[in-house]
Structures are given as C-alpha cells and as structure tokens.
C-alpha cells in the first residue's frame, strides 16, 4: 500500500486531506507536518477529524521512503517543499497555486517570481475531468483552486462557444483559511455578504488559462468572489453569452457522461447538496429572456474544491479506483 | 400631524413599517391590522419592535379619518385594499407588486389579471431617487421591490449606455416572508446558498421597465436571486457592458450628488454596512481586464428595500423632511 | 449479511440512519419508507446523504424477510409499526419514545395511553454504555432521546452520589425535526437562543428513570432545553451537588475505561469537536468555589443522539464490531 | 446640553456608546478616541453606526471642558484613564471591571493589583435597578459586566431567600470583543457552542458581591458562560433553591414595578426579543417537579449589557429622563 504524508496538515485543507487519507483503504498516512503546531496531535487541533497523529516539523529527509505527499503550504513556500520532495522522487499533489499556471510570467505577474520555474513543466493541472490521463503519470499535480474547479467544470462544455462570461462566485469562510483576522472574525462575517478581490483575484488567470486550453478564444471572464456566513461550500453562478446557437444541456450531458463526480441536475443546486462530498453539482439553464446560458455549479470548497480532489488525484496517480476513500 | 395605518402589520415588512411610524416625529400611527393575527398585540409578535398596539381586522370604514396607509399585503389582495382606501381619499404606499408595473398586460403575464387596472395610472413608482417630485403628489405610491431598488440604483447612472447587463442578487431569508415552509426552515438555509427563481423572477419586469424609463434601449437584464443564511440584507453584483466608453464613476457622482440615502464608497460594501438603515451603498469598479463596469449595491431588504423606503415615500408625500424618522 | 429497512426515512434521523446503513460493511439496506414522501428518491430529498433508494409506503408484508428495522416515526405511530414488525420476528431499533419508559403509567402521564403496553417488557433501553449485554439479545431496542443520551452519560458515574442535579441543555434545530413551523423558521432561530419545554419536557422522566436505575435515590433533575442557531449538535452542562466527597474524575475514568465512544477530555468540549461522529465528549470539573461537580457532555444530536447510536445498537444486536460503519 | 466623550470608541461597546450618544437628544458627543485606530473615521470602522467623527488619540488635556466621558478600555488601562478624567472633574461611566469590585483584595485576586485603589470608594456600581439614587450623584459609575447585569436582575428579588444558585449563561461573540483570535474565528464559532471560563470567570465575584449586598447569605453562585454562534444577545438560565417557601413571581412583580427597562413575561424570552434594546426580559418559573425556581433573563450584551446601560447611567447622572435616547 503506498505511503503518504501531508505536509502542512494544521490548516483546514491539509487537515481534511489527512482525515481522508487516514481512513483511505488504499493509502497509508504515515506522517503529518506543521510549521506552526509541531508537537501537537492533529486530533487535538481538529477533534472531529479523528486523526491520532502527532504533527512533526517538515524535514524531507525524515519522511523517509514515503511514496507521495500532499503539500498544503501557502504559495512560494509550497514550491520549495515540492522541489525538495520531487528531488527525492516523491510524487506530489500540491494544493497551492505554485504549479497551476503554466506561464511563468503570468505567475510572476499575479504572485511573485517563481521559486522553482524548472518544475512547472513537470506539473499537471489536477482537474481529473480535464486531465485524467496525464494525472495518472504525473510527478507533480497542481491541485486546482476551489473557484477554478467550480468555474471550469461549469464552463468546460461551452468553452469553444464562449463569447462573454460572467462568473459570480460565493464561498464560505473556510476558504479564507485558519488565520484569525478582521475578515474572518465571526462578527464581521455573520449576517453579512461582501464581495472581495474585485477586479483582481488570483483565481482569474487560472480560469482563463484553462478555458483557453479548452478552446475558448480570447475570453477574459469577469469574476467576483463573495464571502458568505457559512463555513464550507461554494457556488458559482455563470452567465454566458455564446458565439452561436448550441444545445447547451446536450453539451453538458455529452461532456460529463460517465464522470464519477459531476452531477447534472434539473434544479439549481444548493451547497448543502454536496456538503462534505467530492461532487460538483451543475444546473444548466438556457435563458430565453436574455439568450444567455446560465450555469450554476456547487461544491464543497474544502472537498472537491481542495482536499478530496487531492485524494481523487492521488487515486489516479497510484492506479486506485478513482472514488476510493471519497465515495 | 398626519395619521397613518399599517394594513397587514403582522408580516416582517408591515411590522417594521409600524415600528418606524410608531417612533416617527411626523406621523401618528393609529392602527395596525392583520388577517391572521387579529387580536394579538404587535409587541407580542415582534417584541423588539416595541409597538404596543393591538392588531385589528382590516375594515376600511373603521379606520376612520386616517390620512395615509401602508399596505403590506400579498399581491392581488393588496390591490383590493388599495382600491378601498383610495376610494375614501386615503393616500397609500403599497408594498406589494400590484401597482409597480405600468403595463397591465405585463402584470397579467407575470402575476394574474389585475384586480384594479383603472388605478394603475394613479400610481407612482416609489423610488425617490427617480420619482421624487411625482411621489410628493401621488395618491398611490407603488413601493419598489427590494431587488429592483438595489438594481435600479446600481444601474440608473449607466442606463443610457447599457449594452448587456447581468445582475447577481443575494438576499437574506426575511425577504421570503414569515411563512414557514421547507425553504425557510432553518436547517434548509443554514450553511447553504441556493439560486432561486432562475430564468423567471417577478422582479425582472420591474427592473427592465425602470431601466427603459431611464433611457436603456432594448435591455433585458439577466437576473438571478440567491438565498443566503442571514436574516436581513441584500447585495446586487452587476456586471455591465456599455455601448460606449464613459467615465462611469463620474456618472454616479453626478447622479447621486445630494441624494440623502445613496452612498458611493471606495470599497465593495457588505450588507452589514447598511444593516437597519435606509441607505444604499454603491461601489463602482471600471474593470480593465474585461472592459465591463462592475457595480455592487448593498441595502437592508426590509429597510431601504421595503419598510423604511415606504416611510421615505410618506415623508415626501406629506411634505416632511425626507429623512424624518429614518435618519 | 443481515438485511435492514428504515421505516420513516424522510425525517432527519431516519434519513441519516439510512445513509449510515447504506454504507455499512455489515448490513444491507434493502428498503426505506415514508408516509409523506413515498415515491421520491431519498437522494432527491437529501442529496448529500447519497442513498439512491426510492421511498416506499410502509407495508410490513412487503418488507419480506428483512432481519431488522430502524423505526423513525413519531411516538404513538412508532409503537404500532414496532408491534407489526415484532410480530413478524423482525428485530427493531425504535427511535421514538414509545419503549423508553418502563413504567406504562409514566408513559401515559407524559404522552398518552400506550398503544402496545405488552411490548414494553420486551424492550431494552438502547444506551450501550449502560445496557450493552442486554442490547445484544434484544428484540426491541428503545433508542434513547438525544438529551437523555448526553445527560445520562454525563451523570452515570456519579449516580450513586447525587444529591441535587441541574441539567442545562442546548441543541441545534435539527432536533426539532423537519416540520416547517414558526419555531423552525430561519428568521426565528437565527441570532437567537430560547429556552423551551421549561418545567415540562418529555425527556425528563427518561433521565430520571435511568439515574434511578443507576442507583440515584429520589433524584429529580432540573432540566431545561435551549434552541440554538445551528443545525446539529448538543451540549449538556450539568451542575451536581453530591451527597458525599468523591473523586469525581476517577469515577469517570473507571466507568468509561474501554468505552469506544465516550471520550473524557481535559478541556470543555464544543459540539464541533464531535460533529458527525458517534462520540460523546465529556469534561468533568470539580468546582472548588461551590463544592459542586460540573460536567459538560457534547454530542451530535442526530448521530450519537439518534441515528449513529441506532447503528451502534444494531451492531451489538447482530454481533458485529460495535464501531462498524460509525468509526 | 452636557458634552460627552467616548474614550476607546473603536471597540464594539465604545462604538455603540458613541452611536447612541451621537443621536441622543440630551448629550452632545464631542470626541471619540482610539489607541489603535486614531485618524480613522468612526463610520469607516462601523458604517451602520453612522457617526461621522474622526477618532483621536486620547489626551485628557485636549478633551477640554467635556462634562462626561464613557471609558471603554480594557481593565487596568481603564483605571488610569478614569483617574485622569476624574482629576479634571469629568464624570465618568467606566465600562471596564476596574471599579466594580468594592474590595481591593478581591480585585487583586481576580485581576491584578489595582492601579487606582483610592478611587474605588468614589465609584457606584452602575446597575440603575439597584443603585439609581446613588448613580445620580456619582462621580464615577462602574458599568456592570454583561453577565452580572442579567444574573443580578434575574436573582435580585430572591436574594434574601437564596440557598443554592446555578447560573448557566449564553452569549454571542460580540461579548468576546473585536480582537481576531482562534476563538473568534468564524469557523471556530459557527455551528458550535462551547463553555468557557469554567470554574473561574471574572464575572463571578461581581455577581456574588451584589447578591450579598442584596441580602444573600454565604451564597457562591455556580456560573458557566457559553459562547454561541450569534453576534449580539445574552441569556442567563438560573436554577435556584430557596431557603424557604416564597411567592417568587410576586417578589418579581413587586421589585420591578415601575422599572422602565425590566419586563416580566409569561413565556421564556429569546434574545431576539430584546435585540438592540435596553430591555432585560425575565421569566420566572416556580418548578413543581424540583421545588426550584427557574429564572430566565435575556438582554442584548452590547446594549443593556454594556453601552445602552452606560447611557441609562448618564441620563441619571445628568438629570435627564432615564430612557432618553434609548427608548
């Protein structure tokens, strides 16, 4: 059974990845690390995850003969850890943004100079619905951002026909991470909804990159994220003008036939429908009044948006059933 | 001092109107009525509103010499009550949709045959920022819907230049009213966000009507409402393609200079910023990446979206300071 | 593999029981029934539970050779279904109150005349931590109420020494069930906390019965339930005056050594610690200022408080590992 | 018109005090100060409070001829500011704990050595329902803690008859203040309820002091606070054993007859009933089963629990109507 470590397991996403791998029938979780909480047990930090492992300081040499690692570090720090792991032949799923953008200049524009540019070519964008085959053999999988996961799944079947795209995204607070700030204070979020990253959100180039890779021509999607008073859950509401008349629902049916974790539904989904699952629920509405196609995609930002998608990727990388441990 | 009654004061909007009028320096609240809760005291139903009046059954003859009434009935029933009140010379602010649409056929298409079509011409659309002068003399004021209030305020300065409009709207549960249903059950709403009325929402023709009145040509706005886990508050996020290059922020500054209840702000507003106020906060963002103009407007759906806007209209109708009782 | 049905699977507790049994390694879930939603698929009602079975009308003859049933009906109706199932030799875990009280007069006082008094003797109170051995052989298991589960686990080790007991209980809204009422309306619950059942709550006689069975003499516990703005989760805060000086923490350590689902913790538990688990977390605080012992017990009212405890009971009844399917 | 300053207006309580005084018919709010946010406008920090004043650094000499000040500092820092203000003859309502405990040794035991012990004698405990007359002439009013306000109002009528007292208290997150910490992070609080300060909470000696002053003999109340997922609101549930048989409801009726801000109600109150008001709602239940008296008291922790009670005190100190600005 392949052994796996979670590097950076004290954040929300890393901790959930650890939980899923701890119970996984096909992997052995052998180590969890944390820069801030080393020495504490993970089930002390997250009792309901029930992972009775002690958090260690990350030291690639001490990880030993681990087969794979999930890296849950902030961007920049992630690339450095990925490089160390990669050098020792350990296959990596990186939850950060460091290997998602294939163009190093774009990365530099939105983040900072890339700490390990040579590895970008090694990385596969970890959206199984787009890159399943390449993920199987990848040394480094760049797990997508939560918004891009929802947005790309919502738009992929229409990509070749896109003229104008508006993506209005809503997310729970866990997406903002575990850091205690004014923005994550209960009293700030409760009974509130606030747009953020207006005009400039780091998930934008990721969405545009993948839409282009799917055949969209010169599409720059308008995108706004909104913070909602809930912990987990994400909804993207897409308003699409097409270049030509197509049977949109049929395109979705075709594209997602047989996909294990994409569900097309007849009613607009709520995020509760997919809470704590790896599913993305999509509703397509050809809108007669406006001629647009409306697409709504719901997922759990910590699950399909991050940690369970990482496990889906690991399953592919190690030849397991794609839904092992996350069905 | 003009006397006023609230007809239908047991719902959220009517009750709040009663509270605001009970404390109003320029009106005397003399009666509150309810079909479902007659005989109960309003402060038994809504303790924090602190209105110690007993709810009566509505009987226009018993209201006596009241000068004005706020009608907070569902559509259809509202028109009948408005007709009775109007016949006796009582000036009315109607919170329902019955007199918002100026075209009787459009009303019939979205609701049902109009119960009092002859009165439609008497009614003024009660958005003070658009129709202040006509409201002063109106016999019947059709208080706008909560989404139209936010959306029209967000789009009015751009109306003559609109090419394509997407309005993504989010609201708290009080907007769904006091009826206990599956949709308003705590467990349904909590930790959830759900689109509703996709493709067909009764606020659509109201928005389109007013944009057209403002000079928009052939604009059918895409609009989706979303239900959020909060009680009061509403945000519309608008994504606008213009027909020509304009200085959008300047248009907003011009249009809303001197407006007492519209605030232009440099950061995207949260609904908490305007909680329990009559203010609408607007942020305009010319978006370089997409060429669109993004406009975010926040208000309290029960206040500026309904009840305090009704008081604003009453203030205008009776020559009081526009912000009396709602500053 | 034993086959099992869930009778009344459209409520919160029954649906969760169905979910747990659908994924259970040791049971085959062969039928789910509903009086109100027959004909619908359970995953249409509860998408995230992902149980793709169609709800049938309950007909004991059509259930066929099922080995066991979980009955999730309201009291009264439950007893009738239990009687029918029992007559056909089907072993039952009943989630209602119908077989919890061993004294038929007490039942009549708190509910109504018992519909099947002859069966009361057949039933075992389904708290494994108290009656594990008897549950193994039981034909009918009366699954405890959610508050009694928490309260009895919090007080059992001290039962022989109880002089005065106050139990202040807090629960999420799912405990009030799926019925849409004024009390479960989002706007009623949100930003609120309310005591209910003050002086008379049907869980009182259940708690007193079990404390007496554990050796408490003449103890009538003061108990108040409070409704909180959250969906799942329950906390009881117990303030205990003892008849004599004991080493309370040691009594807890002794009593719960080896218990798979009771955790003694050094800090007061939050209900999130046990969310969606079968665990009850208990913190014992001998209070020097007052001489009392304070005990806090947290559980998930739908899991250990109802549905996963039912599975724990089924595991015992059929000789499976006690934590099968709920670890 | 007396002029007033709020010292420390950037926290939740100080900001609300500023809002109430800004709109107060009998005071002129002339200054607001902040150590952390000097230079910002208060309506930038708290838009919905709508106080358009700039926060200054506190400098007693620059406050000039102000007649009164509300001090909203943490304990310790508060005493120093109070001393400076008092020296210049400015009357003070102090929201901190610094002048609540009349015994300097008790203060030292629960906090630290008192920074201004000589002033303790000058201070009056600012619960108008107990000390109305002394507050009128006080130079320093020690505004009560939020839990003590509710608990003392809930127990005062029974004080001479108390044998055993349990106070189970629940509060929203605003009571924890504006500091962003793990405990106030949205994801920590949401869908949770947690006891805190178990066995040792700084409001304990304050409650015991006032019960003793009311005639309670040797009563040490058991008290536990619980954090709930809501912003404002506080409920105390009291379980009282009396020394003798009394007509508890009659004692409450007698004690609170004519009290403008205490309401005795026939049903258990929810905190929404008193949201954003200065009222404390109390329900008394003589419990036949246990012989105890149960008392439930609800208030808004930021209003009657802190800021509006400070205004109530100011009204008394300056001879205004007690409910001026807070009715």
Environment class of residue A39 by beta-carbon count within 10 Å: exposed (0-12), middle (13-18) or buried (19+)? exposed
pLDDT at D5 (0 to 100)? 98
Under the banding of pLDDT at 50, 70 and 90, the label for residue A62 is confident
Q: For residue A296, list its beta bridge partners.
A: A237, A283
Angstroms from A83 CA to nearest CA on chain D: 32
Catalytic residue list contains C238: no
Q: Summarize pLDDT for A247-306 with one digit per residue, the tens.
A: 999 999 999 999 999 999 999 999 999 999 999 999 999 999 999 999 999 999 999 999
Of all residues in chain D, the one with the smallest CA distance to B45 is D273
- By Cβ distance, the residue of D198, D275, D294 closest to C198 is D294
Do D48 and B274 count as a contact with CB atoms less than 8 A apart? yes
Q: Summarize pLDDT for C101-122 with one digit per residue, the tens.
A: 999 999 999 999 999 999 999 9
Average pLDDT over residues C32-56: 97
Arithmetic mean of pLDDT over chain C: 97
Q: For residue C162, list its beta bridge partners.
A: C242
Of all residues in chain A, the one with the smallest CA distance to B274 is A192
Is pLDDT above 80 for A64? no
Angstroms from A180 CA to nearest CA on chain D: 5
- Chains touching D by CB (3 or more pairs below 8 Å): A, B, C
Up-side HSE of residue B265: CA atoms within 13 Å toward CB? Answer: 19
Under the banding of pLDDT at 50, 70 and 90, the label for residue A109 is very high
User: How many angstroms separate the CA atoms of C149 and C168, rounded?
Assistant: 14
pLDDT at A63 (0 to 100)? 86
Sheet containing strand A123-125, edge to edge, reads: A55-56, A28-33, A3-7, A68-71, A91-94, A140-142, A123-125
Q: What are the residues whose beta carbons fall under 8 Å from the beta carbon of B12, sequence distance 6 or more?
A: B174, B177, B178, B302, C187
Do A285 and B235 count as a contact with CB atoms less than 8 A apart? no
**Which has the minimum average pLDDT: B239-243, C62-66, C229-233, D208-212?**
C62-66
Angstroms from C290 CA to nearest CA on chain D: 6
Q: Which residue has the tokens 């108290």?
A: C130
Name the phi and psi angles at C8, rounded to 5: 95, 55
Q: Which residue has the tokens 């350590």?
A: C253
- By Cβ distance, the residue of C48, C275, C281 closest to A274 is C48
- Chains touching C by CB (3 or more pairs below 8 Å): A, B, D
Beta strands D234-242 and D293-299 are antiparallel
Is the separation of the CB atoms in B5 and B73 below 8 Å? no
In three-state secondary structure terms, D125 is strand
- Look up residue D303 and give its DSSP letter: I
A contacts of D178 (beta carbons < 8 Å): 185, 187
Angstroms from D39 CA to nearest CA on chain B: 18
Is the separation of the CB atoms in C119 and C83 below 8 Å? yes
User: How many angstroms separate the CA atoms of A90 and A95, rounded?
Assistant: 15
Is the separation of the CB atoms in C5 and C69 below 8 Å? yes
Of all residues in chain B, the one with the smallest CA distance to D272 is B48
A contact set with C (CB within 8 A)? 47-48, 50, 190-191, 269, 272-277, 281
Do A48 and C281 count as a contact with CB atoms less than 8 A apart? no
Cβ contacts below 8 Å, chain A against chain C, sum to 28
DSSP string, C26-70: S-EEEEEE-SSSTTSBHHHHSGGG----BEE---HHHH-S-SEEE
Under the banding of pLDDT at 50, 70 and 90, the label for residue D63 is confident
Share of chain D above pLDDT 70, in %: 100
User: How many angstroms separate the CA atoms of C298 and C283, rounded?
Assistant: 9
- By Cβ distance, the residue of B184, B187, B231 closest to C174 is B187
C contact set with A (CB within 8 A)? 47-48, 50, 190-191, 269, 272-277, 281
Q: What is the ipTM of this complex?
A: 0.97
Catalytic hit among A7, A146, A225, A311: A146
**What does pTM read for this prediction?**
0.97
Is pLDDT above 90 for C201? yes
Do B48 and D281 count as a contact with CB atoms less than 8 A apart? no
- By Cβ distance, the residue of D47, D269, D276 closest to B273 is D47
Give every residue of chain B whose pLDDT is below 70, as ranges: none
Least Cα distance to A253 among A242, A241, A262, A245 occurs for A262
Is the separation of the CB atoms in A285 and A260 below 8 Å? no
Under the banding of pLDDT at 50, 70 and 90, the label for residue D304 is very high
Q: Would you give the distance in Å from CA A129 to the centre of its chain? A: 12
Under the banding of pLDDT at 50, 70 and 90, the label for residue C65 is confident
A contacts of B166 (beta carbons < 8 Å): 166, 168, 239, 292
Enter the tokens of residue A174.
């866990």
Do D186 and A182 count as a contact with CB atoms less than 8 A apart? no
Q: Summarize pLDDT for B98-142 with one digit per residue, the tens.
A: 999 999 999 999 999 999 999 999 999 999 999 999 999 999 999
Helices then strands (H, E): number in chain C? 11, 14
pLDDT at D135 (0 to 100)? 98
Angstroms from C200 CA to nearest CA on chain D: 9
pLDDT at C63 (0 to 100)? 86
Catalytic hit among D29, D124, D146, D150: D146
Is the separation of the CB atoms in C81 and C57 below 8 Å? no
Enter the tokens of residue D222.
């058991």
Do B47 and D274 count as a contact with CB atoms less than 8 A apart? yes
Name the phi and psi angles at A137, rounded to 5: -105, 5
Angstroms from C31 CA to nearest CA on chain B: 25
A contacts of B268 (beta carbons < 8 Å): 194-196, 198
């Amino acid at each position: 059974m392949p052994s796996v470590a979670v590097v950076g397991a004290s954040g929300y996403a890393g901790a959930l990845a650890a939980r899923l791998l701890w119970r996984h029938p096909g992997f052995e979780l052998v180590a969890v690390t944390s820069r801030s909480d080393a020495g504490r047990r993970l089930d002390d930090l997250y009792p309901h995850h029930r992972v009775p492992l002690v958090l260690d300081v990350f030291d690639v040499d001490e990880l030993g003969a681990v087969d794979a690692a999930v890296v849950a570090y902030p961007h920049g720090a992630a690339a450095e850890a990925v490089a160390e792991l990669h050098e020792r032949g350990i296959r990596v799923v990186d939850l950060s943004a460091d290997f998602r953008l294939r163009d190093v200049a774009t990365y530099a524009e939105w983040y900072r100079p890339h700490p390990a540019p040579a590895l970008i070519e090694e990385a596969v964008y970890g959206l199984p619905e787009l890159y399943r085959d390449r993920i199987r053999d990848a040394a480094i999988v760049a797990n997508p951002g939560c918004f891009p996961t929802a947005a790309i799944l919502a738009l992929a079947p229409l990509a070749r026909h896109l003229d104008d795209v508006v993506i209005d995204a809503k997310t729970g607070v866990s997406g903002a991470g575990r850091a205690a700030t004014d923005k994550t204070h209960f009293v700030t979020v409760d009974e509130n909804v606030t747009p953020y990253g207006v005009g400039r959100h780091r998930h934008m180039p990721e969405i545009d990159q993948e839409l282009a890779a799917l055949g969209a021509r010169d599409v720059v999607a308008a995108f706004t994220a909104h913070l909602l008073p809930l912990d987990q859950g994400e909804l993207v509401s897409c308003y699409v003008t097409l270049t030509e008349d197509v049977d949109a629902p049929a395109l979705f049916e075709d594209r997602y036939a047989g996909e294990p974790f994409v569900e097309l539904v007849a009613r607009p989904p709520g995020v509760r429908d997919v809470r704590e699952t790896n599913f993305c629920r999509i509703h397509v509405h050809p809108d007669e009044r406006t001629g647009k196609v409306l697409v709504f995609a719901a997922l759990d930002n910590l699950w399909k948006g991050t940690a369970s998608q990482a496990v889906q990727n690991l399953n592919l990388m190690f030849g397991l059933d794609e839904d092992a441990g996350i069905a």
